[in-house]
Amino acid sequence: MLLSLSVRDFVIVDDLSLEFAEGFTVLTGETGAGKSIILDALGLLLGDRADGTLVREGQDKAEMTALFQIAGRPEIAAWLESNALPRDEDDDTLLIRRQLDRNGRSRSFINGTAATLAQLKQLGDFLVDIHGQHAHQSLVRSEAQRTLLDAYAGSQALARDVQQAWQDWQQARRTREEAEKLSRESELERERLSWQINELTELALLPDEWNTLNQAHSRLANATELAQTAQLAVDSLSEMEGNCLSILTHVQTRLSKLSSLDPRLSDTVSLLDSVDAELREVVYGLRDYASGIDEDPQELVRTEQRIDTLMSAGRKYRVQPQDLPEKLADWQNQLAALEAASDPEALAVAEAATLSRYRSLAEALSAKRRQAASELSRRISGEMQELAMGGARFAIELAPLSDPSAHGMESVEYLVAANAGTSFRPLAKVASGGELSRISLAMQVVISQVASVPTLIFDEVDVGIGGRVAEVVGKLLRQLGDRYQVLCVTHLPQVASCGKTHWQVSKSGKAGKVVSRIKPLNDAERIEEIARMLGGAEITETTRQHASEMLELNA
C-alpha cells in the first residue's frame, strides 16, 4: 500500500508531505484548489509522461517521492530482481522518486537506482490502480472494452500469447508466400552458390593454409642461404682453426688452474662451464638444422603454383586468399537456408504448426472470455440497479470473426438495455453522458473487487450523480476500503461522509503566488467541510446539523 507522498514545486504545490492510512480516504476542496494535482503527481511517479510546464512558476525543477509497503508481495521482489534493481531484505518498503526540470527533462529512481519510464509503468501496475474522472469516455472503444474484459478474466498474459502466436503465424504465412513468389530467383541463386561451393571445395582448402604456404615458400626460396649460413656458424663455433669452442676450452683450463690459487675465480670458472655447455648445444642444433634443409626446386615450384591458385581464387571472389575458407562456409550456410526456404512442404508444415498453436491459445482465451463475460454482465447489471438505473441490463457480446485476428477469434462489444423491456444495443449508441458515467462507475467497482493491486484511486468518478445514488457510491467505495486502500477525490458530501479518513485541499496566496495545501480533518473540521459541500459559501446551523447526521450514519 501507499505509505507516503512528498511533492515539491509541482504546479501550484510548493512543499507537501502526506502520510496515508488504510481503508477509504476522501479528498475534498473547492474547485481549482488542487485535488487532482496530487493524483497527477502520483501518476508521474508511476510512469506518466510530463513536460516542463508542470514545474511551479519561478522554480527550476519539481520533485515527487512515494513510499510503498510491499510486504507479502513476492511478485514485486521478483520484478526488482529481474530488472537488476536493489531491495533491502530487512525493509519491506519501496521508494520511487522522480525529478522534472523546466526544460521537460526528467530523472527517475527506484530504491535510489536510476530507472526508465517503462520500468515505472511496469512497477506501477503492481502498486496502484487509478480510475480517472474521464474513464467512461474510453468505454465506447472496442479496444478498451476488450482490455477491460481480459483484465476481469485475468487473461491479459494469455491475450499477449495469442497476439504473439498470431504474429508468428502471419510471419510463417508471409515466408511461404514469398518463397513461392521467388521460387525461380531462388533456384538461380542456389545454382550459382552450388557452382561456387564446388569450385572452392575442389581446392581442398586446409586450415591456415595460406600462412603455412607463405612460410614454406620463404624457406624453400632461401634454402641455399639458410644451409650455408648454418654451416658457417658451425665452422666458426667448433670446426675451423681458432674456433670459439677451442678458445673457450683454453681459457677454462687456465682459469681452472688459477682458481686453486685464488678462490674468487671459482664463480667465473663455473659461468664459463655453463657457457661451454650451452655453446655446444647451439652447435649440435645448427648441425641438425643444416642437415635437415632440403633444397628441393620441385617443391618450391609446387608451393608457388598453390599460392598462385589461391591468389587467383581470391581475386575472382574479391576476398583475401586467407579468407577463402570463411567465404566457403558462408556460401554453404546461404545454400542451406535457401534449400530450407525452397521446400514448400516444410514451409506449409511450419505455417500449419503456427496456426495450430494460435488456434489452441485463442480457443483457451475465448473460453475464459465467455465465462468472464457472463459473470461480469451479471455483476455490472446488479450494480446498475443500485445506481438508479432500475430495469437496465448490461451484456457483453462475443461475436465470432470471419478471419482470426491478433486479439482472438471474436469481437468484444458492450451492450446495454437502458430500460426494462427494451432490447440490447451497443453502449455508445444507447447511454447518455450521465448513464455512461454511472455504468463506468459500476464497472470500475466490480473490476476493482478482483484487483490484485493494493491501492485503488478514484478521481471524481462520481461526476453527474447525486442524491441517493451518491450515497450508494459512497457506501460502495467504503466497502472497497475494507479490502483495499482506497483514495477518492470527490465533490459530493454523500461520498465524502463515508470516508474513514478525510483530507481537505485548499489554496492560498504566498509571496504573490497561489499555492495548494492539504490537511487532515478532525471530527469538528469534517462537519464544517461537509456542511460547506452541502450549503455552499454560507453555512448555517441547519447544514451543520445535516452534515453531522451524515457523518454519524456512516461512522
**Domains of the chain and CATH, by start:** 1-130+460-520 (3.40.50.300), 189-340 (no CATH), 521-555 (no CATH)
> What's the average model confidence in pLDDT over 50-59?
88
Q: What is the pLDDT of residues 315-351, one digit of tens each?
A: 888 888 888 888 888 888 888 877 765 667 788 899 9
Q: Give the total residue count for the chain.
A: 555
Query: What is the longest distance spanned by two Cα atoms in the chain?
Result: 137
In this predicted structure, what is the pLDDT of residue 236?
84
66 pLDDT band, cuts 50/70/90, is very high
132 pLDDT band, cuts 50/70/90, is low
- HSE-CB for 275 with a 13 A CA cutoff: 15
| Strand residues in 248-335 grouped as ranges (E) | none
In this predicted structure, what is the pLDDT of residue 184?
63
Cell readout for 441 is 462507475
In this predicted structure, what is the pLDDT of residue 177?
84
Distance CA 63, CA 10 (A): 7
Name residue 42's beta-bridge partners: none
- HSE-CB for 284 with a 13 A CA cutoff: 6
> What's the average model confidence in pLDDT over 285-309?
78
Distance CA 37, CA 256 (A): 102
* Least-confidence region, from 193-197, 216-220, 480-484: 216-220
In this predicted structure, what is the pLDDT of residue 3?
94
Cell readout for 183 is 521460387
Name residue 395's beta-bridge partners: 415
Q: Are 293 and 226 in contact (CB under 8 A)?
A: yes
Between 51 and 225, the more confident residue is 51
> What's the average model confidence in pLDDT over 211-233?
79
Q: Which residues contact 428 (CB under 8 A, 6 or more apart)?
A: 140
Q: Is 452 exposed, middle or buried (0-12, 13-18, 19+ CB in 10 A)?
A: exposed
466: three-class secondary structure by DSSP: coil
Cell readout for 109 is 529512481
29-49 CB burial, b ≥16 within 10 A, e <16: beeebbbbbbbbbbbbbbbbe
Cell readout for 471 is 450515497
Q: Which residues contact 160 (CB under 8 A, 6 or more apart)?
A: none
In this predicted structure, what is the pLDDT of residue 396?
95
> What's the average model confidence in pLDDT over 460-484?
81
Q: How far apart are the first and last CA of the chain?
A: 23
Q: In terms of Cα–Cα distance, which of 516, 518, 526 is closest to 555?
A: 526
Q: Are 495 and 488 in contact (CB under 8 A)?
A: yes
Kindly state the DSSP code that residue 238 receives in the 8-state scheme. Answer: I
Between 264 and 162, the more confident residue is 162
In this predicted structure, what is the pLDDT of residue 40?
87
Q: What is the pLDDT of residues 185-198, one digit of tens each?
A: 677 778 888 888 88
> Strand order of the sheet with strand 393-405?
393-405, 408-417, 425-426
Name residue 48's beta-bridge partners: none
Name residue 407's beta-bridge partners: none
96 pLDDT band, cuts 50/70/90, is very high
Distance CA 143, CA 11 (A): 33
Distance CA 292, CA 294 (A): 6
Q: Are 443 and 139 in contact (CB under 8 A)?
A: yes
In this predicted structure, what is the pLDDT of residue 287?
84
375 pLDDT band, cuts 50/70/90, is very high
Identify the H or E element spanning 308. helix 297-316
- H/E/C letters for each residue in 424-450? CEEHHHHCCHHHHHHHHHHHHHHHHCC
Q: Tell whether the model's pLDDT for residue 234 goes beyond 90.
A: no
What torsion do the CA atoms of 22, 28, 33, 35 make, to the nearest 10 degrees? 40
Q: Which residues contact 357 (CB under 8 A, 6 or more apart)?
A: 165, 168, 169
434 pLDDT band, cuts 50/70/90, is low
Q: Tell whether the model's pLDDT for residue 88 goes beyond 80.
A: no
Between 52 and 361, the more confident residue is 361
Average pLDDT, the chain: 85
Strands 13-19 and 2-10: antiparallel
How much of the chain exceeds pLDDT 70, in percent? 92
In this predicted structure, what is the pLDDT of residue 342?
61
Q: Tell whether the model's pLDDT for residue 364 goes beyond 90.
A: yes
Q: Tell whether the model's pLDDT for residue 208 goes beyond 70.
A: yes
* Least-confidence region, from 94-108, 148-162, 224-238: 224-238
